[in-house]
Amino acid sequence: MDFDPTDEQRLIRDTVRRFAEQEIMPVAAGNDRAGRFPRELVNRMAAMGFLGGPIPKEYGGSGLDYISHAIITEEVGRADSSLRTTLSVQVSLVALSLVRWGTEEQKRRYLPELCAGRLLGCFGLTEPNAGSDPSGMETTAIKRGDRWVLNGTKTWISNATVAGLALVFAQTDPGKGHDGIAAFLVEKGSRGFSTHPITEKLGLRASDTGELIFEDCTVPDSALLGPSGHGFKVAMSALDNGRYSVAAGCVGIIQGCLDACTEYAKTRKQFGRPIGSFQLVQDMIARMAVDLDAARLLVFRAGHLKDHGLPHTVETSIAKYFASEAAVRAATDAVQIFGAYGYSEEAPVARYYRDAKVATIYEGTSQIQKLLIGSHLLGIRAFT
């Protein structure tokens, strides 16, 4: 693996960083306080090609490699994890699932719209009684002629109320467990399909979150993404992509914490000297720097494997587990370094602190990642 970025990757980093610093950072705190979804920024990111990063050019994407996609995601995450969540869902969970599993007609219909930001997508897997165990989902899809009838509720769905397209998973035969799950593309406005917002969240307040509600929602057979019964495979491949982008976004959180703390520690004085001269402050900053390098390299390793078409599920789980936990450590230490200011919304680290925690929960909890890694190493399934 070559550790030197290409000229194109350097240009991408510089471009995204400039955009993030000039357009995202100045409004991130205000959007967070107001719980305001920044649709105008999503449109700007689409115009710059961010929403089509690794999507093939023939479908309206930018055709970028996965390292470049990680760079984009990291820089957006450094500025605002709420916006990074929208980016991750749009690209990694929805668009890349269409690239891999969609028919040519589905790709031509939806991918250009997703890449251009004219259509936003959401990923409907989690339910009130089924999170880490998808086989326990209660949403059903019953075949009636050449159509399917969906009933059930999905919850904690990012982009739920702003998305025009939902990738939804439903059980067609409860007796088959994983093998009975199917994936469907459900458009907003479909009869029997409604959404409900979820507010008052700890973090990601500028990210749209809600429920997807299906009440005798009828969709055509052409709405199937992949064959019926392959929904679990569709979901797991999507989560591989989603975990990669979450990990990259967490690298951005760590970088943001390190940037804020190094500047503050050099200017904030106590006992007549900068707090950066105190050994225990240096200890916390040093740990951030080590975690930053380790997390970024783990993300790039997973991206390298993805770019070469090699198996990467375990490496992606390792990157997601480490980067998300490291982001929580970095944000916790950042609040400590800022002291009372860190406990207020006056400093950006309070938002980093609130936003970091969810990364250890969604796209597979840290505990699920450890079980995946352990099962691979031992050759013994941790799941029944």
- Which residues does residue 167 pair with via DSSP β-bridges, in sequence order? 123, 185
Residue at token pair 């028919």 = 103
Cα–Cα distance, 261 to 268 (Å, whole number): 10
Q: Is 363 a catalytic residue?
A: yes
**Cα dihedral sign, 363-368-369-375:** negative
| 165 DSSP β-pair partners | 121, 187
**12 burial level (CB within 10 Å; 0-12, 13-18, 19+):** buried
| Beta-strand pair 121-124/193-197 | unpaired
- Residue 317: what residue type? S
CA-only gyration radius of the chain, Å? 21
Say if residues 96 and 241 touch (Cβ distance below 8 Å): yes
Residues 331 and 253: their CA atoms lie apart, in Å, by 8
Q: Which two tokens stand for residue 11?
A: 């240009």
Per the CB < 8 A criterion, the answer to whether 289 and 259 are in contact is: no
Q: Which residues are catalytic?
A: 363
